[in-house]
Amino acid sequence: MTERDDSITANSVTSQQLLQAVKGFIAETVTPALSDRNQFNARVAANVIGIVQREEALGPALSALDNAAFSRWIPDGAPDKDIVPQISQAIAKRTIEPDTAFLDYLKQRQLLLSAINNPRYANRAAAAEKWRYLDTDAHSAADKR
């Protein structure tokens, strides 16, 4: 262990830093040493780590958005159950009016989901620009990962 490493403790390293270190190791050290098929699998593994990083960063915003929607449009729902299926069922049963506020929620949710799952998806940037009146600051940072 070097002097620099001695100053790093488990408490001073964030989960984001750990994930980034593993992702970097896979991309920079492991992948180049592998054969074609295994290189592909290593790139997939690095991409999965990226998704986990973005989920960790943006998941709380997505949960807060869903909780607010649940409180607003499913007041008699079961908060201890998964919220999204309850909202989906309410849409299917047409108990939620598709007003502007609800459509804005769906747009924000989709922008957050695509920021987590595939921030470089071609149509995501176009949608974010079109829907820029929505609060998209939370997920614009994920585009850089």
Report residues of the chain scoring pLDDT below 50. 1-2, 144-145
pLDDT in tens, 71-108: 999 988 887 779 999 999 999 999 998 899 999 999 99
Please give the DSSP secondary-structure letter assigned to residue 134: S
Domain ranges of the chain: 3-144
Which pLDDT belongs to residue 1?
A: 42
With tokens 């290593």, the residue in question is 42
Which pLDDT belongs to residue 6?
A: 55
3-state SS of 27-64 is HHHHHHHCCHHHHHHHHHHHHHHHHHHHHHHHHHHHHH
Helix (H) or strand (E) segment spanning residue 85: helix 83-92
With tokens 């040493």, the residue in question is 33
Distances (CA, A) of 41 to 4, 22, 27, 107, 120: 33, 15, 11, 32, 20
How far apart, in Å, do the first and last CA atoms of the chain sit? 29
Q: Average per-residue pLDDT in the chain?
A: 85
